Structure 1
């Protein structure tokens, strides 16, 4: 075997010309590999955040931004499913707080179509009516957001969020007109994120269902009803658009006080029933209006021990608490539970005209004028 001697080969240094040349020639590949590794790591971090989120709202509002930035997408929305109402819902965050947006699960909107048909929708130009009609005659693109933001949307990709064969929501991404489209490479990873979202949404849905059932554990322990009767009352309440509590009172003759004990035990707070002796908390009703409070089913009742007592039908509803604290401009709030019917009674009385035909809005207006003076 021939030997290579020092006469025909230079001894390479630790950084020889060859190794430098080889490194430089492979630099683009190495850089690309490092970018891919970093991207995969970021994907895993997003998936971990989704799995550890305390509630769906955190995913829709906060983690959504991480996904949008990671994929360098102009706009991204995550919708969750409201199965009872057959609607998708999401939240927009701005200086005024969170605004809920709802869409019917139908073929009218792009996200609604993806949910209704359980399949990914890719529209390369949402302003091309022919492209929309090729998918479905009813399909429309809502241009109001573009007008509000002063931009033109180009491509829209709506991916159904599934758990097994059940629709749990929709992930919708939108590029600006003239920007790069969502290529297959990125969509593969968006599909992966949707799979993680599907499991997370299912787990939160299951947890919330268990929480709802536990509202009446006290009544079951006391022998008033069985779990099967609670399930039947829940279904009847959904069909009749009435509260489960009212069904339990009317059909099973359970005293209101005992239902209150059960609710207080579940939520770890006081149960407050309607009392027409409570004074109207005029100063707490500023910036609030009757239709909103009745729709959201909560009302400020009084100040107690340096906190504002708020009656609400579900004190554990994080979204509702965020809205309440934003409107009342404080986190010093004592949440207590009450029947929805009793909350409505308080709202009606607080906003009713007094004997001299003066409304609460007029009283608040006078107070604000006095403050300005």
Structure 2
């Protein structure tokens, strides 16, 4: 098994023995002789484990060693199968960590007695999470740091004296002696490993006890036999993480390690003109430009012939080399150059861009041919953004000889997707305008249009396009990918129990007015369509007026408004009222006329849904009253107003559980409101309280976040609320009444979801203030 040298945890059913100090000394000396004379410390520990347990009358023993990079104690070998590995910080959060931090002996009679721990040190804690995971009950703990001269090597920990006895002074003195012997043995082993493998790429793994020399030799042999890189064998057969292999390569090659990331920006300006087969055969790829410096990922930065060949391709520019794994480099090449429609490989596209002789200012002629490189490049940008679940694509040209930058928005956050050579900025913008049926000669005024991508690239994607003139005589283009698809069921929308119950109670009413409010891109349309899906029955006639129609449902009669020809939301609503509706949904009530018709329709027996661009539910009421709505009609019509935001959620694959500090807990309570927290959540601060934080993995692009969920603020149209609306009460009074009626604010709903393990306070604060 891997890492047998690093640590040992064993069970012993030995009976308790009482030994004299001299007997202890003799037995400790014998154990020391075995450990110091062994060629392999891991095997020696296995051989003496039962002797150590019997000597101390202990039920279990753990030998931790220090991970010198992370400053953690690590236990990697266990005779039981309860957990594969224990990692604990050198800190007061555990007994072993405290012994290592303070470099002093710790003897605990009852690990769960906080008073006993406080007597030793007020900050000392027992990490009970391992007991909960394993089902094993820890009582007594005797721990001592393993030190060689002044160097901390680890911690020796004995657990549970047989027969419920206690570890006494004799055991304390004996563990000091044994720890001293182990310190010498660990130091010698580390020194031998470092000396014997100075020329080995993986000496870091040996020095930090992640791998034995025997296992490394086997991995090298297996790699040669299977024609696989050694790194692949280490990850597959010996369960060494890619991160640890990266650390080893960083130390050996003395440069940065770069790991494959599917969301890495495509360096289009660097790829231009390079031959993909040459990069694949020689295992290298350009990654980015940094201060005129080219950053290259390569599998062997010490291969001077390869390095010279690569430098020759970038004359006059300094080149920096990062190390990466062979497969990661091939994945980068595939990401940067290939698209699933096989329209073209991007190196060919950008090579064509370089050799096309048409003047870029004459964009019309350079993009008229459907087979041109610009056509393929724009198609690739749209397809890649769609495949990465982006909501928006931003094409951002810069003046002079600066390259055009393409950014995409995923889960609400913008990231760089790729760069395009500066000489083709006008051609790309003109191609997008042609696809959108816009005037390519007009560059001084903003324009907007739509792309139905199916006729250009095969995929049934619809995009809303806006062009905006920017300084330097340039134009930015922003394309929003319209989210076609099925509505999400209401019980999958992330509502709290109260909000779900109350929202369903109003959407099933026969008439009235329901508003969903929030900024652009906060999921208002999705929520409305989910509500309509809930009540979409054969006996119910539902009309919707939208701009644009994004989500389609069978059973709904959906209308696309066209303001340019006078068919706006108000005109659509007047038409609906003559078309025998039961339910009307209007995309947005942005003016007095549309809102008045909506209130009128709700008072004449129709259920009306709409959206508002306001920050919170109480503010929506004052906004509508300021717009000139009759307070009595509005009060009669209103059923509820729901404000919502989309908050980035923690990646389900890699989010990490942790015990928050008291200060962090107090901050969450303070942000929620102490009285409301006690009344609504009432989650006490205990040793068992667990929250989650982002970690980062391949699936989430190492960001720690993947996907979004709604946080909601639901104001109900209660009788008391209707009275305040009739009186045109100030917003603060309306807000206080809504809270008295049971409303949770956006931030409170977000904090509730933090305790449920979905998100963290940083992301909640990004989307709401109160």
Which structure has the larger Rg?
A: 2
Give the structure, 1 or 2, with the largest relative contact order (CA under 8 Å, sep 6 or more).
1
Normalized per residue, the structure richer in helix is 1
